[in-house]
Every structure is written in C-alpha cells, then in structure tokens.
Chains A and B, each alone.
Chain A
C-alpha cells in the first residue's frame, strides 16, 4: 500500500495538468474578464492606466497561480511558518519604512512594485494556522496552550495592521484566522462567549475608535445625517445600485460612475459600478460565479486526502466568501464602511496577488489530492 502511494504520488506533469480543476479555472477567467470590463468602464470607456495595470496584474498573477498549482502541496505545507514570519517581518518593516498614502502607512517599496503586506497576511495566516492545526491531536485542539498560541498568531499581525492604521484589513485578517480556528474544531462555546463578550464590550471598543471610524459607524446607522460629508459614499453607492434596476443601465452607461458621483470606484466600490451597469441580473450572476468558485474550492478540500489541504481549502473558501459578503454588504449599506476589496474584481495588486496565491495553493491541493502529509 505504501509502495502504491509512493508510486502514485510521483505523478507526472501531464497527469497534474489533467488534474487541474477546469471549472474553477474558467470561473476565475470569467471573473477576470468581468473585472477587466468593469475596470474599462471605470476608466470611462477607454483603456487607461487602471485597465492596463489591472490586465497586467491579472495575467501575471493568474500565470503565477498556475505555476503554484504544479508545485507539490507538501512544499506549501513546509513553507507555512516561514512565510508567516516573512510577512510579519514585512509588516514590521512597513511600520518603520512604509509608504504613507492618504493618512496610513500600508505599502512597502520593493523597487519594482509596491506591496501591501497586510493583504498577503490574509492568506498566509490561513496557511500558518492550517499547518499548526494539521499536526495537532484532536484532544489538544481545545487545550489552553494551543488556544493561546493560535490567538497570538492572529493578534500579532492584526495589531501590526491596526496601527497602520487599517481597521478593515486587520479585521479581515482576524476573521481569516478565526475561520481556521473554527474548522480546526475549537469548541463552540469559545465562539459563543467571545461573541457575547464583544457585543458587551462594543461601547468600550467604539470609544477607542478613531474619530473618523466613529463617524463611519454613526453614518452607517443613519447615512442621511451628513449626506455631503461622511454619508456621501454610501448614499451615492446606494443610488448607483438602486438606479441600476433589473437589467442595469448598460455597459459604459452607468451615470453615477461616469459622472464621478461614485467614490473609490476602482477599488472598494467596484461592485456598485458593476451593479449599476448590469442591474439585478448581472449582480446575481456575479454572485453565482463567486458561489461556484467557492463551491469548487470547498469541493477540492473535501476531495483532498490530507487534513492540511482540507483545512486550507475550507478556510480559504470561507474567507473568500466572507470578503465578498463584507464588501457587498458595505456597498449595499448593510455594514459600515470598512476598507475591504472585492477579491479579483477590485483594483489592487497585493489583494490580487494574495488571492491568486490562495487559489494556487488550492489548485495545488487538487493536483496533489492524493498526497498525504506526515
């Protein structure tokens, strides 16, 4: 049996090629195409900087994803802690030598590109925790020691990102980590109690928030309190989505974005523009594509042999789901505004890079689904 496995694991390049998940790949390509079209629309129907840059990034990172998918999942397993440490080092570097833009230090200059380590952390924290729990025996998962250790793994990058300051991304990092904890089998009562605790301590947390963050919460509760100031983004976003109607205003005909009423239309609010131009039908279709992608990711996890691959795929799929939901809820006025991009759709290299690395590892899990990890 062992022999057989050894033999089987040495599958060749063409076999791996055949093992790729083509449904997932085509969905990603479609999504990439949609995002390019939307980016083209944000540029006012011209191929300008954003479209060109987004196209290059998509092509480069998509190819990178393919490369990653041919590398054995064991390699990624072995890289779990190291990559986490490297990103952590980058985050510390950011605090000292980062590039300041619009009031926060988020980027570091790598000479050929500027990178946002906090975005990468969203993926590598999953990798790290997945590796941590892979080795752990079931009865140790809920031990005090492992709980403390995993919480430290989450809190260190989270606090490093908070002081940038970037509340949105740090929350997303935390959520990614917590998702892994959930799948690893942490007792339900911890989640229940911490939920309760956070609800009780919400007023205290709010009092520690920055003034602009408090304003966002207040604006979320009542966008009309300052329609031209803090409430402007969410009001204009809702107008754009609402005026799209059932079938949308048509490609390149979204007046809200074309006439520059939409803020941040390349990044966080890209769904607003898409929804304005393609309407309810288009939005549901986009959601469907995301759902298929997430379903395929989870399915790959389900079919994987190793616990690490399963844990990673489940957590990554769920994280993507949460990113999508948070972004959409935010632009639809269901959540306060936090900076969170829509995976693949939003403009932004680091987010694209992180997402593609994630999909690459998932794809690697697929091509090496029979690989067991000691």
Chain B
C-alpha cells in the first residue's frame, strides 16, 4: 500500500517536473519575444515614434502678422497700426462666468444684442479658448475695466495691434480699407490662406488689396506643448514674424486733404499728377467714408447709409467713373487735327448761335452760346470753347484719326494697368469699334458730337489728368505711378507723342488763353502771379440730351433736378512758364465747368506750386525733418 502510494506520487511528481521544464523553456522563448518587441519599438523604430509623440504634444499657434504701413511722400503714416484695447475671457479660468459676464455687460454698457452674441460665442468655443468680448474698446472703458479687475476674475484686458487710418476719409479711395478676411479672400489669395488666423484683417479694395502680398507680413509662431484635449500646457518657443513692407506713396497729404475739403458735399473727383515723373500728387473721390469703421466690422446701419447714398461713396470716381469728357476733349481734337494737317491754326469757322445751328441730315448741332461766337480761329475757339468750330474740325478730321490721337494720349485704357482692380477702361470709339460692338455703321453725326466730347466717348478723371499732363510736358509719354519707389522702366517712356512739337505749343497756348485771357471760359479762376499762372480747359458734359424745350427754358443749374444736371469738368496744368503739374477735376451734376470746377483749380494750384519747393527739397534731403 505504501509502495503503491510512493510510486504513484513519484509518477505524479515526475510528470509535474517534466511539464514544468517544458513550460520553463516556453516561458524563456516568450520572454525573448517580448524583449525583441520592446527592442523593435524602442530602439529600432524609436525615431518614428518620437516624431509621432512630438506631433502629439507640440502644436503651433500662428499669431496675426503685423501689416505693413502706407506712407505719403514725406514719410507720414497714412495707414498704420495702432494698439487696440481688447477684452478677452478664458471661460475655464472664470469661477462664476454668469456673474463676470453680467458685470462686464454692466461696465461696458453692452446692448442685449451684443450680449447675446457674446454668450452664443462662448458656447461655441472650448472652455480654455479665448473669448473676445470686445475688440476695440475706448480708453475710458478700458481703464474702467482695469479699475474693476479685482472682482473680474479671469478677465484679461489685452492690447492688440490693429489697422488705423489717421486721415480717415482722405485716403479711402486710394488705400481702400481692411476688414476680416472672408472665404472669398482665402480662395483667391494663397498667401492669405497660408497666413490666416481668426481675426486676420486683409485689404478689401484699393492699394490695401493690390499690395496684399507685400503688406501682409509673416505670422509670429508660438509653439506650445498641449495635452490630449488640446489645452496649452507650456510655451516651448516663440518665433517672431516679420512686419509687412512699408509702402511709400507719391501722394502729398496736404494737397490730398485740400482736395477732400474742396469736394466736400459734392460728388466728384480730383487728380493731380507730376507731368514728368507721372507721380500722383493727389487723387480723391468724393464723397468718401471713414475706412476705420470697416476694421472691426461696420454696423448694419452705417453700411446701409454708405450704400444707399445717391452720391455713391463706395465708387472710386477717379478710376472707375466713366464720364463724357465734354469740352475737355477739345485740346486733343485740336491737336489731332493739327497733327493730321486737317487744319491750320488760322482755320476759321463762323459760329452763328442758336438761331442758325449746324445742320446735317436733318439733325441740328448747337453751340453752347446762344448768341454764337462769330468768326473764330483755333485759339479763339479753344478759349471760348466754341462747339460749332469743333463740330467742323471733327467732321473734317473723322473719328478714326481722332481716336488714334486720343488713345496715344492715354484715353480709353487703364492708366495704372493692374494696380487698382476697380479701374475702368473708358471708351474711345471709332468706326471699327461701333461695327464690332453694336453691329451698326458709324454715322457722321456721331463724329460731330465726339468732337465736343459727347456721345460714345467715355473717360475717367485719371485719364483726363494723364492726357493733360502729356500735353503739358510737351507731348511726351509718361507712366503715372502712385508708389514712390516704383521706377517704371518702360521702353517708350518719354517718347514723343507728336509729329510736330509746334502743334503741342499751339494747343498749350490755346489752353493758356482759355484761362488767362478775357472771354476765356475759366478767366475768372485765373491766378495772375506768373509763379502760379496756369492753363486749362473747362468742360461741361451733358447727362441728358438737351431738348428744344430745355433750350428755350434755359434753366439755371439749381432749377434742374440733381440727376439731370451737367457734370462740371476742368483740366489744367501749371505753372504755365515751366509746367510741372497737371490736374483734372470733375464735379458730378455740378453744372458748368467754368463756374464750378475751374475755381477749385485756382485754390489747388496755389498750394501745389507752393509745396513744390518743399517736395523738391525733400527729394534733395535738405529738410529731413519735415
């Protein structure tokens, strides 16, 4: 019995030990497997997993880049950056959000609508993300908040950098404005997409838009360690971005401000240009608006006010206003006729007044002057702006030859090429154009009215200014520029646009007579001091066909409804002795060019020529501290 027991337990023990041995071997193999797996992950694949771990824990935050500035010719900042006072709240750092937000509402005197918007925004973000309660506080409110910080736990007064236009409406149409980048901006501009952060402001119109690439700068980058839920734990690095380029313009702020003042309460445009360099000295479109309102988003009411204003403040009239040039085209008609040797300066036409108008195929063509001008030669006709004379000249010249000259002098094409996206081409018609565009043949009557700048012909104020500048500089091609260091290297710069320079002289002299001699259309706006003396040509462009009844009534401007009043135009250059600047003025529905537009030129030239010295000295770095 005992023996059996012993042998039985011995068999059991033997089997147990044998099996233990088998398992021990298996265990060693399995352990080896685990160690090799560890080796594979931690030593061989270490780099890969290290990268993945860093990807997990490191996240970069882009900060809005600091936008480049705009300066005027003298280095004054006309679009800069200012420190905006903002109020941020990080909800999770606030113990009692309800209390704090009501307290803030009280302090900032927020309306219920604004308040609801903030609460809604709070519910959309994660509790550790920043809630922007106010983006542009006044100093009073900002300091009020700062004074009450003791019971506003978690509220952070922040100073952030934002766009500022110190001259308000003065530069609106040149610079445009910035506002929050929208979906469209991201789609059309890769650069914006790359640098986008919520709250990024980008240029919407004007130079702000055209030079977006240069202005935008580069983002500062903050590198944070974050946890699995995206909460920032600690800052690892800060990489400072570059401020955008500063862009210097050719504009003189003083003159720009004067143009704004002159056009106050009026709809219109003034352009001033250097006739040799093509530098834009001033370019203003009225009415304008304050671009600062757009930076933080414009209120609906204010926007409707701007949008629905009948004077159209949103349109940059200098570049995208297409106007019939009226009599301001006459210098080009005269020049074209002289160049093509259709007439000589002593060519004379009799203007018989309204009783005896020019008649062609049953149509009558009246001169503006009821009594008529009598016998006039070229100089007299320009001086008194005799329409009858130019009907005849145009009839002899033909529209095709006229259009060649007009285009040569810059009409009918964009002056700034693609710098401004809202610039219009204008239109210089010829027979071929009409056939292609309207499918009908040109008729002689159309040539005749084109001779006084009516009909199909359309020009923008900046084109008229360029035309005048190129007549004033003796007939040489220039390329207008608005950015100071833009040394446009066009091969045909300063190439003569004339066949005989004498013809240019004749036209210049005729324009001189128009302003400085008795019976000249802008004689009343002359400046007698030879230093300031300028030459110009008035224009009055009809908005509506004048009927026989109108002619009989002969209403004064203020008696006609606003929309039907004539546009007043004036182009001029000065000083006459050695011309340097050209300008174009247009007052929408202002009435006659001689009475409304030309007087503005008088004030402008006074200042332009006074400031010429300063400008020249600034060029020579004589007064660095102006």
Contacts and interface: CB of A to CB of B under 8 A. Distances in A.
Given A242-B41, A246-B43, A287 B34 contact: yes
A221 interface: no
B46 A243 contact: yes
The B interface, classified by DSSP as helix, strand, loop or mixed, is helix
Nearest to A294: B27
Interface string B316-353: 00000000000000000000000000000000000000
Given A298-B24, A334-B37, A259 B12 contact: no
A239 B38 contact: no
Nearest to B37: A332
Interface stretch (A73-81, A157-165, A275-283, A354-362): A275-283
A261 B231 CA distance: 12
A329 B34 contact: yes
Contact of A307 (B16, B31, B228): B16
9 tightest A-B contacts by CB? Answer: A242-B49, A243-B53, A259-B227, A185-B15, A280-B42, A260-B228, A243-B49, A242-B41, A245-B46
Given A256-B57, A314-B20, 9 more contacts: A236-B56, A239-B49, A239-B53, A242-B53, A243-B49, A279-B42, A280-B43, A294-B27, A307-B13
Contact of B38 (A275, A301, A311): A275
Contact of A328 (B13, B34, B46, B52): B34
A189 interface: no
B48 A259 contact: no
A139 B233 CA distance: 67
Interface residues of A, number: 46
Contacts, number: 122
Interface of B: 8-9, 11-13, 15-17, 19-20, 23-24, 27, 30-31, 33-35, 37-39, 41-43, 45-46, 48-50, 52-53, 56-57, 225-229, 233
| Most chain A CB atoms below 10 A, which of B12, B15, B52, B56 | B12
A184 B31 CA distance: 24
A258 B234 CA distance: 12
Nearest to B51: A243
Contacts of A141: 12
Interface in A43-69: none
Interface string A284-306: 10010001001000100110000
A184 B34 CA distance: 28
Contacts of A137: 8
A325 B23 CA distance: 14
10 contacts: A183-B16, A184-B16, A239-B52, A239-B56, A242-B41, A255-B57, A261-B57, A283-B42, A284-B35, A291-B31
A242 B12 contact: no
A242 B50 contact: yes
Nearest to B38: A283
- With most chain A CB atoms within 10 A of its CB, the pick from B11, B13, B27, B35 is B27
A258 B225 CA distance: 11
A16 interface: no
B20 A298 contact: yes
A279 B39 CA distance: 10
A185 B12 CA distance: 7
Contacts of A223: none
B176 to A, nearest CB: 43
A256 B56 contact: yes
A260 B233 CA distance: 11
A12 B19 CA distance: 34
Interface string A224-259: 000000000000101111111110000000011011
Nearest to A290: B31
Given A259-B57, A318-B23, A242 B42 contact: yes
B77 to A, nearest CB: 45
A283 to B, nearest CB: 5
A310 interface: yes
A307 B38 contact: no
Contacts of A291: 31
Given A243-B53, A259-B57, A325-B34, A238 B41 contact: yes
Interface centre among B9, B20, B39, B43 (most CB of A within 10 A): B20
Contact of A246 (B46, B53, B225): B46
A240 B35 CA distance: 16
A93 interface: no
A259 B45 contact: no
A242 B46 contact: yes
Contacts of B50: 242-243, 245
Given A241-B42, A260-B229, A310 B52 contact: no
A259 B56 contact: yes
Given A138-B11, A185-B12, A307-B12, A241 B23 contact: no
